[in-house]
Amino acid sequence: MKAAVFRSPGVLEIAERPDPTELSADELLIEVECCGLCGSDVHALAVPPGHPTAPDVVMGHEFVGHVVDRGAGMDAVDIGARVVVDPDPSCGACRNCQRGMPSACLNVRAIGVVRDGGLARLCRLPARATFAIAEEVSASMAAIAEPLACVVHGVERSSLKPGDSAVIFGGGSIGCMFAALFHAAGAYPTVVVEPAARRREIALQCGADDAFSPEAWDRGRDGLLPFGADVVVDAVGSLFPQTLAAVATGGRVVLIGMNSTARAEIAQNDITRRGVSIFGSYITNFTFPTAIRLLERGTPDLSPIVTHRLTLDEVHSGLDLLRSGEALKVVIDLTGTG
C-alpha cells in the first residue's frame, strides 16, 4: 500500500509499504477513509523537530475508517464497524491511569508517532484505541473527532457556565472549536484573538461574537471587557502573559496550545492577589464519547473548520497550507488510495 512515511526530521516520503498482517489478539485492522493533518505533524517535520517521531513510521493520528479484520480476542467487534481513533491509547495499568489521568499514561505508544498511523489505506491498532461513530457523519467531520475530544477536555477544565465571558487566543482549528463549544454552552461574548483575517472569519462562522487581530484587541479590550473575561484560553502555546492580562479577577485560564520552547515572564502576584486559576489541558480525558455525540448531532456546525480535502499524493501541499496559515484543518482522503 501507499503510505506517508516519516524518514528523518523534515523528510516525509510517499512510499510503498506491505499491507499489515498478523494482528495481535487485541488489535483491529482499519481501512482508513480520511485522516486529518495536525499542527503537531508540522512541528514533527520541522528542522529541528518540535517533537520527536520514530523513523519509518506512517504518520497521521486523526482518522476514521472501517474495521476490516480483527485479532483473535476481538470477536465482539463487528467487521464493517465504523470507528474513530484515540491516537494515545492509555494502558490502564500505570500509576497515572489508575489515578484517572490517562492523558499522562506512562506507557503510551502514540499512533502516527511511534507506531504506524492513518496516512495509508490500512492501519493496525489496539482495539481499545477505537470508538464507534455513526455512518451519517461525513468522513471529513469524523476525522476531527480527536482534536474535538481535546477541546471538550479543555472546555471541561474551564468550568465555563452560561453567561460567562470568554477570550480565546489563536483562531486555528483548536481555537475555532473552542469558540463553537463556548458559544453553544451559553458564553457571552465569545471573543477570538487571531492575526490571520481568514481565520478570524472562520471563527465568526463557528460562533465567536467578535474576532480581533492582536493589535485591535489591545486597543479594544478595555471597552469590550473592562473587568476582563471569566475564561481565557491560550490555543497557541506561548501567550500565558496575554491570558493573564485578559482574565478577570477570580477567572480561569486554560493553557492548551503547545510550544515546548516558550518561556513566559509573568508577575506571579497577579495570579495570587486576583485569585486566578490556571489549568493545563493535555490531549483527551474520557472525552471521545462527548466529541462523537457532538459530531453525530451536527450541532454546533463545525464544518467551516475543515478548509481543505486532498489526496495522499498532495500531503506535502497540505502541510504547506498549514505552515502558511492559509488552511485551518486539512484532511487527506484515503479512499481509493492504492
Which of 121, 155, 37 minimizes the C-alpha distance to 338?
Answer: 121
Torsion angles phi and psi, residue 310, rounded to 5: -125, 170
In 57-86, which positions are buried (b, 16+ CB within 10 angstroms) versus exposed (e)? Answer: bbbbbbbbbbbebbbeebeebeeebbbbbb
Non-local CB neighbours of 14 within 8 Å, separated by 6+ positions = 2, 3, 4, 5, 312, 313, 315
User: Nine-digit cell at 142?
Assistant: 469524523
For Zn ion, the binding residue among 58, 97, 119, 254 (CB under 5 A) is: 97
Minimum distance of Zn ion from residue 40's CB (angstroms): 5
Question: Helix axis angle, 288-297 relative to 145-158, nearest 10°?
Answer: 110
Cβ distance to Zn ion smaller for residue 91 or 185: 91
Residue 38 binds Zn ion, judged by CB under 5 A: yes
CB of 212 to Zn ion, least distance (A): 26
91 binds Zn ion, rule: CB under 5 A: yes
Q: C-alpha distances in angstroms, 258 versus 40, 63, 155, 254, 292?
A: 9, 21, 16, 12, 24
Q: What minimum distance in Å lies between the beta carbon of 52 and Zn ion? A: 15
CB of 87 to Zn ion, least distance (A): 7
- Interface with Zn ion includes 42 (CB under 5 A)? no
Binding mask 50-69 for Zn ion (x = CB under 5 A): --------------------
Q: Nearer to Zn ion by C-beta: 245 or 310?
A: 310
For Zn ion, give the closer residue by CB, 69 or 320.
Answer: 320
Binding mask 269-288 for Zn ion (x = CB under 5 A): --------------------
Q: Does 111 help bind Zn ion (rule: CB under 5 A)? A: no
Give 120's strand partners. 3
DSSP bridge pairs for 298: none
- 202-223 in b/e form (b: 16+ CB < 10 A) is bbbbbbbbbbbeeeebeeebee
The residue among 113 and 247 lying less far from Zn ion, judged by its C-beta, is 113
Minimum distance of Zn ion from residue 290's CB (angstroms): 17
Q: Please report, as a single letter, which amino acid is at residue 275.
A: G
User: Of 31-39, 151-159, 180-188, 246-254, which part binds Zn ion (CB under 5 A)?
Assistant: 31-39
CB of 38 or CB of 179, closer to Zn ion: 38
Residue 155: partners with Cβ closer than 8 Å, 6 or more residues away: 178, 181, 182, 185
Please identify which residue in 105, 143, 244, 291 interacts with Zn ion, judged by CB under 5 A. 105
The residue (of 41 and 230) whose beta carbon lies closer to Zn ion is 41
Least CB distance to Zn ion at residue 220 (A) = 32
Q: Does 32 bind Zn ion (CB under 5 A)?
A: no
Nearer to Zn ion, 24 or 107 (CB): 107
Q: What is the nearest approach in angstroms of Zn ion to the Cβ of residue 280?
A: 17
Amino acid at 27: E
Tell whether residue 94 is a contact of Zn ion (CB under 5 A): yes
Backbone angles phi, psi at 329, to 5 degrees: -115, 130
Q: Does residue 104 interact with Zn ion by CB under 5 A?
A: no
Site of interaction with Zn ion (CB under 5 A)? 38, 90-91, 94, 97, 105, 107
